[in-house]
Amino acid sequence: MSLTCGIDVGGTKIAGAVVAEDGTVLEHRRVVSPAEDPEAIEDAIVGLVADLGSRHALTGVGVGAAGYIDSGRSVVMFAPNIAWRDRALREDLQERTHLPVVVENDANAAAWGEFAFGAGSAFDDLLLVTVGTGVGGGVVVDGELYRGASGVAAEIGHMRVVPDGLPCGCGRHGCLEQYASGRALLRQTREAAATDPGAAVLVAAAGGDAEAITGLAITAAARDGDPFALRCLAGLGRWLGEGIASICAVLDPGVVVIGGGVSEAGDLLLDPTRAAFADQVIGTGYRPLPQIVQATLGNDAGVIGAADLARR
Amino acid sequence: MSLTCGIDVGGTKIAGAVVAEDGTVLEHRRVVSPAEDPEAIEDAIVGLVADLGSRHALTGVGVGAAGYIDSGRSVVMFAPNIAWRDRALREDLQERTHLPVVVENDANAAAWGEFAFGAGSAFDDLLLVTVGTGVGGGVVVDGELYRGASGVAAEIGHMRVVPDGLPCGCGRHGCLEQYASGRALLRQTREAAATDPGAAVLVAAAGGDAEAITGLAITAAARDGDPFALRCLAGLGRWLGEGIASICAVLDPGVVVIGGGVSEAGDLLLDPTRAAFADQVIGTGYRPLPQIVQATLGNDAGVIGAADLARR
Amino acid sequence: MSLTCGIDVGGTKIAGAVVAEDGTVLEHRRVVSPAEDPEAIEDAIVGLVADLGSRHALTGVGVGAAGYIDSGRSVVMFAPNIAWRDRALREDLQERTHLPVVVENDANAAAWGEFAFGAGSAFDDLLLVTVGTGVGGGVVVDGELYRGASGVAAEIGHMRVVPDGLPCGCGRHGCLEQYASGRALLRQTREAAATDPGAAVLVAAAGGDAEAITGLAITAAARDGDPFALRCLAGLGRWLGEGIASICAVLDPGVVVIGGGVSEAGDLLLDPTRAAFADQVIGTGYRPLPQIVQATLGNDAGVIGAADLARR
Amino acid sequence: MSLTCGIDVGGTKIAGAVVAEDGTVLEHRRVVSPAEDPEAIEDAIVGLVADLGSRHALTGVGVGAAGYIDSGRSVVMFAPNIAWRDRALREDLQERTHLPVVVENDANAAAWGEFAFGAGSAFDDLLLVTVGTGVGGGVVVDGELYRGASGVAAEIGHMRVVPDGLPCGCGRHGCLEQYASGRALLRQTREAAATDPGAAVLVAAAGGDAEAITGLAITAAARDGDPFALRCLAGLGRWLGEGIASICAVLDPGVVVIGGGVSEAGDLLLDPTRAAFADQVIGTGYRPLPQIVQATLGNDAGVIGAADLARR
User: For residue B83, is pLDDT > 80?
Assistant: no
Tell me whether strands D58-65 and D3-9 are parallel, antiparallel or unpaired.
parallel
- What is the nearest CA distance from B129 to chain D, expressed in angstroms? 24
| Chain C neighbours, 3+ Cβ pairs < 8 A | A, B, D
All residues of chain A having their beta carbon less than 8 Å from the beta carbon of residue B254 are 149-150
Query: What percent of chain B stands above pLDDT 90?
Result: 81
SS (H, E, C) chain A: CCEEEEEEECCCEEEEEEECCCCCEEEEEEEECCCCCHHHHHHHHHHHHHHHHCCCCEEEEEEEECCEECCCCCCEEECCCCCCEEECHHHHHHHHHCCCEEEEEHHHHHHHHHHHHCCCCCCCCEEEEEECCCEEEEEEECCEECCCCCCCCCCHHHCECCCCECECCCCCECECHHHHCHHHHHHHHHHHHCCCHHHHHHHHHCCCCHHHCCHHHHHHHHHCCCHHHHHHHHHHHHHHHHHHHHHHHHHCCCEEEEECHHHHHCHHHHHHHHHHHHHHCCCECCECCCEEEECCCHHHHHHHHHHHHCCC
Q: Quick check: B247 and A249 CB within 8 A?
A: no
Residue B79's pLDDT is 80
All residues of chain B having their beta carbon less than 8 Å from the beta carbon of residue A123 are 149
User: For residue C83, is pLDDT > 90?
Assistant: no
Residue B310's pLDDT is 96
Residues 69-88 of A with CB under 8 A from B: 77-78
- Give the residue on D whose Cα is nearest the Cα of A168: D166
Question: CA dist C305 to B225, C2, C64, C145, Å?
Answer: 57, 15, 8, 11
The mean pLDDT value of chain B amounts to: 93
Residue D286's pLDDT is 81
User: For residue B134, is pLDDT > 80?
Assistant: yes
Residue A196's pLDDT is 84
- Give B257-296 pLDDT, tens digit per residue: 999 999 999 999 999 999 999 999 988 888 889 999 999 9
Residues 130-169 of C with CB under 8 A from D: 137, 139, 141-142, 144, 146-156, 158-163
Q: Which residue type, as a one-letter code, is found at position D9?
A: V
- Give D238-263 pLDDT, tens digit per residue: 999 999 999 999 999 999 999 999 99
All residues of chain A having their beta carbon less than 8 Å from the beta carbon of residue D167 are 166-167
Residue B56's pLDDT is 96
Residue B118's pLDDT is 96
Question: Got the DSSP string for B14-81?
Answer: EEEEEE-TTS-EEEEEEEE--TT-HHHHHHHHHHHHHHHHTTS-EEEEEEEESSEE-TTS--EEE-SS
- Give B162-212 pLDDT, tens digit per residue: 999 999 988 899 999 999 999 999 999 999 998 888 999 999 999 999 999
Which pTM value belongs to this model?
0.86
Residue B92's pLDDT is 95
- Give D142-185 pLDDT, tens digit per residue: 999 999 998 889 999 999 999 999 999 888 999 999 999 999 99
User: For residue B125, is pLDDT > 90?
Assistant: yes
- Give B299-309 pLDDT, tens digit per residue: 999 999 999 99
Is B165 within 8 Å of A246 (Cβ atoms)? no
- What is the nearest CA distance from B284 to chain D, expressed in angstroms? 9
Task: Spell out the long-range contacts of B71-80 with Cβ–Cβ below 8 A and sequence spacing 24 or more.
Answer: B71/B147, B71/B148, B71/B149, B71/B150, B71/B151, B72/B151, B73/B102, B73/B103, B73/B104, B73/B147, B73/B151, B73/B309, B74/B102, B74/B103, B75/B103, B76/B103, B77/A286, B77/A287, B77/B151, B78/A283, B78/A286, B78/A287, B80/B169
Domains and CATH numbers, chain A: 3-113+300-309 (3.30.420.40), 121-296 (3.30.420.40)
Residue D239's pLDDT is 97
β-partners of residue B136 are B130
Residue B276's pLDDT is 95
**How large is the average pLDDT for residues D4-15?**
90
Nearest to D165 among A164, A171, A194 (CB): A164
User: For residue C81, is pLDDT > 80?
Assistant: no
Residue A197's pLDDT is 85
- Give the residue on D whose Cα is nearest the Cα of B163: D163
Within 13 Å, how many C-alpha atoms sit on residue B222's CB side? 24
User: For residue B81, is pLDDT > 80?
Assistant: no
| Chain D neighbours, 3+ Cβ pairs < 8 A | A, B, C
- What is the nearest CA distance from B279 to chain D, expressed in angstroms? 6
pLDDT grade, residue D46 (50/70/90)? very high
Q: Quick check: D162 and A166 CB within 8 A?
A: no
Residue B312's pLDDT is 87
Q: Which of B9-18, C239-248, D279-288 holds the top average pLDDT? A: C239-248
Complete edge-to-edge strand list for the sheet that includes strand D291-294: D144-145, D135-141, D126-131, D255-259, D291-294
Q: Kindly state the DSSP code that residue C163 receives in the 8-state scheme.
A: T
Rounded to whole angstroms, the Cα distance separating A150 from A72 reads 9
- What is the nearest CA distance from A278 to chain C, expressed in angstroms? 7
Residue D119's pLDDT is 97
Residue B304's pLDDT is 97
Q: Quick check: B166 and C165 CB within 8 A?
A: yes
Q: Quick check: A279 and C164 CB within 8 A?
A: no
Nearest to D279 among B163, B195, B279 (CB): B195
Q: Quick check: D284 and B195 CB within 8 A?
A: yes
**How large is the average pLDDT for residues C35-63?**
93
- Give D186-203 pLDDT, tens digit per residue: 999 999 998 888 999 999
β-partners of residue C222 are none
Tell whether D188 lies on the interface with A, counting CB pairs under 8 A. Answer: no
Question: Got the DSSP string for C182-243?
Answer: HHHHHHHHHHHHTT-GGGHHHHHHTTT-GGG--HHHHHHHHHTT-HHHHHHHHHHHHHHHHH
The mean pLDDT value of chain D amounts to: 93
User: Residue B225: which region, alpha, beta or left (left: phi > 0; alpha: psi -120 to 50)?
Assistant: left
User: For residue C233, is pLDDT > 80?
Assistant: yes
- Give the residue on B whose Cα is nearest the Cα of A250: B154
Residue A30's pLDDT is 92
Tell whether D171 lies on the interface with A, counting CB pairs under 8 A. Answer: yes
**How large is the average pLDDT for residues B127-154?**
93
Q: Quick check: D194 and A173 CB within 8 A?
A: no
Give ipTM to 2 decimals. Answer: 0.92
Q: Quick check: B282 and A147 CB within 8 A?
A: no
Tell whether C31 lies on the interface with D, counting CB pairs under 8 A. Answer: no
C-alpha dihedral (B90, B93, B99, B101), degrees to nearest 10: -30
Residue C150's pLDDT is 87
pLDDT grade, residue C137 (50/70/90)? very high
All residues of chain C having their beta carbon less than 8 Å from the beta carbon of residue A196 are 275, 279
- Give C160-191 pLDDT, tens digit per residue: 999 999 999 888 999 999 999 999 999 999 99
- What is the nearest CA distance from C133 to chain B, expressed in angstroms? 19
- Give the residue on D whose Cα is nearest the Cα of B272: D196
All residues of chain B having their beta carbon less than 8 Å from the beta carbon of residue D278 are 195
Q: Kindly state the DSSP code that residue D165 receives in the 8-state scheme.
A: B
| Chain B neighbours, 3+ Cβ pairs < 8 A | A, C, D
User: For residue B33, is pLDDT > 90?
Assistant: no
Span of A239-243, B104-108, C29-33 with lowest mean pLDDT = C29-33
- Give B205-242 pLDDT, tens digit per residue: 999 999 999 999 999 999 999 999 999 999 999 999 99
- What is the nearest CA distance from B162 to chain A, expressed in angstroms? 6
β-partners of residue D3 are D58
Residue C71's pLDDT is 81
- Give the residue on A whose Cα is nearest the Cα of D178: A164
User: For residue B148, is pLDDT > 80?
Assistant: yes
Residue D216's pLDDT is 93
* One pLDDT digit (tens) per residue for chain A, 312 residues: 699 999 999 877 899 999 999 999 999 999 987 767 888 899 999 999 999 999 999 999 999 998 899 888 889 888 877 778 889 999 999 999 999 999 999 999 999 999 999 999 999 999 999 999 899 999 999 999 999 998 889 999 999 999 999 999 888 999 999 999 999 999 999 999 988 889 999 999 999 999 999 999 999 999 999 999 999 999 999 999 999 999 999 999 999 999 999 999 999 999 999 999 999 998 888 888 999 999 999 999 999 999 999 998
Q: Quick check: A252 and B286 CB within 8 A?
A: no
Q: Quick check: C166 and B164 CB within 8 A?
A: yes
User: For residue C211, is pLDDT > 80?
Assistant: yes
* Closest to C260 in 3D by CA, of C294, C212, C309: C294
Q: Quick check: A171 and D165 CB within 8 A?
A: no
- What is the nearest CA distance from C49 to chain A, expressed in angstroms? 52
All residues of chain B having their beta carbon less than 8 Å from the beta carbon of residue C194 are 171
**Who's near A98: CB < 8 A, 6+ residues apart?**
none
**How large is the average pLDDT for residues C155-161?**
96
Residue A308's pLDDT is 97
Q: What is the CA D93 to chain-centroid distance, rounded?
A: 24
Q: Which of D188, D190, D232, D279 to mutate to test the interface with B (most CBs of B within 10 A)?
A: D279
